[in-house]
Structure 1
C-alpha cells in the first residue's frame, strides 16, 4: 500500500524520526546534507509541510528540552504512526524505480530550433553548472565526515549521478565533434572548443582601460612556484610540464569521450610577501601559479591520468607537480595591456591607486595575467597581456 507521502514530506518526516527538531534545525540539516540536490524543499515550505504531517497525525509537538533547542521554538517529533509511515515510504522509495522527467530531455528533443551556437553554449553552461554542483556536494560531504553511513550513502549516490551526467555530456559533445558530424541547422562540422572563442570577453577583450567583468568558475591545470620567471629553472620547467599535460589531454580527448579542444594560452596567478614587489619589479620575491584553462568537461581524473601518461613519455619531473584547479574569481577588474611585461607597473599603479577607489572597490584575490602573445616570436612592444584583479565592493 502506498504511503501517500511526497518526497519532500518523507524527507522532513525522516529527519524528525531521527530526533525531535524545530524548523530552523530542519533547515540547517537540509543545507548541511545537501538535500536540495535531490528534493525540492524551500525554507518557506518547511512549516507548510510540517502542518500537513501534523494534520495526518505523523508528527506532534514535543518538549523543547528533549532536543536542547531552547525556549520559544516549537519542537516536533515523529509519532508512532509517523515512524511506521516513514518506514513504509522509505522502503517504497528504495525498492521501486521511479520515472524521471528531467527538462534537459525536453531541450534535447528541441535541438532543431536552437542552431549550432546556441546548442554549444547551452551544453557549456550545463557542464559548468554540473562542475559547480559536484564541488558543492563534495564540500558538503567533507563537512559531514562523522555522519552515519546512510548520510554518506546519499552523498555518494548524488556524486555518482552527477559524475554519470558529466560523462554523458562529454561523450555527447565528443560525438558532435566527430569528423563529419553536423549539428541541427548547420552545414559544417562543429569546431574544436576554443576558450578564446567561447569567452571572448575574458580572452579577447579590446578595452585598454580598466573595466569590471564577471569571471565564471573555470577549470585549469596548474603548477606552483616562486622566483624570477626570466631566470628561474623552476618556472621554465613548470611551463613545459603544463603544456605536456595539456597536449596529452587534447589528444586523449580526440580519441575518447573528451572531445577536441584548442590548447588555451598560458596564464598566471602572481603574489608576493612584499607589497611593492610588482610595482618595483622585484622579481626574485614573486610567487606564482602558472595555469592553462581546460574545457569544463575535463575531469580531475582525466587530468591525473594525462599527467601519468605525459610523465611516462616525457620524463619531466615537473609533470608530477601539475594539479587540477577549480577557480571562481567572480567580479574582476580587467584590462588589455599592449607592450612589454616590464611596462605593466604604471597600469597596475593606476588600478590600485585610482580605479579601485574611484569605483568603491578593493582587491579580493590574486593578480591574474593571461599571455596572448609569444615573447619568443613577438617584439616586446607588441605583446598582448590581459591583466585581471578580482575585486569586491568596499564594506562587504
Structure 2
C-alpha cells in the first residue's frame, strides 16, 4: 500500500460525522492510553498525560529518521486526541456540564496505525522514557479496543455546552428503540482549544449502544 494515510480523508465516517446523531459500527483500533481522575482544566496530571501521549505518537511518526521504524511503516497523519469519560457514582441523569469536574474519571488516548505491533510499541515507549521524561509515561499502555455499534455526532461549541448535543443523541436513541450501554462516552478532539474560540471547537461525541 502506498500514499500517506490521513484519517481526515480515508476515515471520514469515524472522525467527521454530521451535526446530528448517526449510527456507526467502529472496528478494532490500536491506542496508547493513560487513565486518570480529576478536573482536566486544573489538573497537572491531565496535562502531563496529554503531553506523554503526543510524545509517544510523534516518536512513532518520526521513527524512520531514527532508523527504528517497523518494516511495514507508512507515512501518516497523527490521529487526534480522544477521551473516554465517566463519573464517580454516575447515573443516567447525570449532566456532565453541571457536575463537579473533580469527579471526572477519564482515559485519554491517541490511536496508532495498524503497523504498530505490541513489541514495537514497547520499544518506542522505552525510547521516549529516556529522551522525554514524563511521570505519566510509566502509566501509558498499548491496547486494542473495539467499540462496536455506536451513535455519534459532531458537536460545535464549548465543552460545557455538550449537553445540548447529548440531548439530541438521547432523543435519537428513543426514536430508534436503542439505548446506551453505559453512562460512559467518548470524545474526539478535532480542534486545539489553545488556538480555537470555544464556540468554534469541533468535538466528536460517541456512545456505545445496544
- Note if 1:259 corresponds to 2:74: yes
Correspondence 1:362 to 2:179: yes
Q: 2:55 aligned with 1:240, yes or no?
A: no
Larger relative contact order, structure 1 or 2 (CA cutoff 8 Å, min sep 6): 2
Cα distance in 1 for partners of 2:130, 2:172 equals 48
Which residue of structure 2 aligns with residue 215 of structure 1?
Answer: 26
Which residue is 1:230 aligned to?
Answer: 41
CA drift of 1:277 comes to 5.0
> What secondary structure is seen at the aligned counterpart in 2 of 1:209?
coil
Pick closer, same or farther for the CA change 1:277–1:227 going to 2, 3 Å.
farther
Distance 1:376 1:210 in 2: 27
Q: Distance in 1 between matches of 2:159 and 2:122?
A: 32
Corresponding residue pairs, total: 202
For 1:291, the equivalent position in structure 2 comes to: 109
Q: Deviations over 1:149-199 (max 9, x none)?
A: xxxxxxxxxxxxxxxxxxxxxxxxxxx4xxxxxxxxxxxxx22x2222221
Q: Which residue of 2 aligns with 1:196?
A: 8
1:278 — aligned with what?
A: 96
Q: How much has 1:271 moved relative to structure 2? A: 0.7
| Partner of residue 303 from structure 1, selected from 102, 116, 121 | 121
Residue 264 and residue 321 in structure 1: after superposition, are their counterparts in 2 closer, same or farther (change >3 A)?
same
What TM-score do you get using the length of structure 1 for normalisation?
0.49
Structure of larger gyration radius = 1
Distance 2:16 2:174 in 1: 26
Whether the aligned pair in 2 keeps the contact of 1:279 and 1:349 (CA below 8 Å) is no
SS in 1 for 2:191: coil
Gaps in structure 2 of 5+ consecutive residues: none
Q: How does 1:312-323 map to 2 (within 5 A)?
A: 312-323=130-141
Residues in 2 aligned to 1:285 and 1:249: alpha-carbon distance in whole angstroms: 33
TM-score normalised per structure 2: 0.90
Alignment of 1:78-97 (within 5 A): none
Q: Quick one: which of 145, 154, 159 aligns to 1:327?
A: 145
- Report the Cα offset of residue 274 of structure 1: 2.4
Is the contact between residue 307 and residue 320 of structure 1 (CA under 8 Å) also seen in structure 2?
no
Asked if 1 retains the 8 angstrom alpha-carbon contact of 2:95 and 2:163, the reply is no
Structure 1 or 2: larger strand share? 2
* 4+ aligned runs moved over 3 Å, structure 1: none
Structure (1 or 2) with the greater helix fraction: 1
1:340 corresponds to which of 121, 140, 158: 158
Q: Are the counterparts in 2 of residues 277 and 285 from structure 1 also a CA contact under 8 Å?
A: no
2:37–2:104: 8 Å Cα contact kept in structure 1? yes
CA distance in 1, matches of 2:38, 2:95: 12
1:286 to partner: Cα distance: 0.8
Matches of 1:348 and 1:330, distance apart in 2: 19
Offset at residue 323 of structure 1 (A): 0.7
* CA RMSD of superposed structures (Å): 1.5
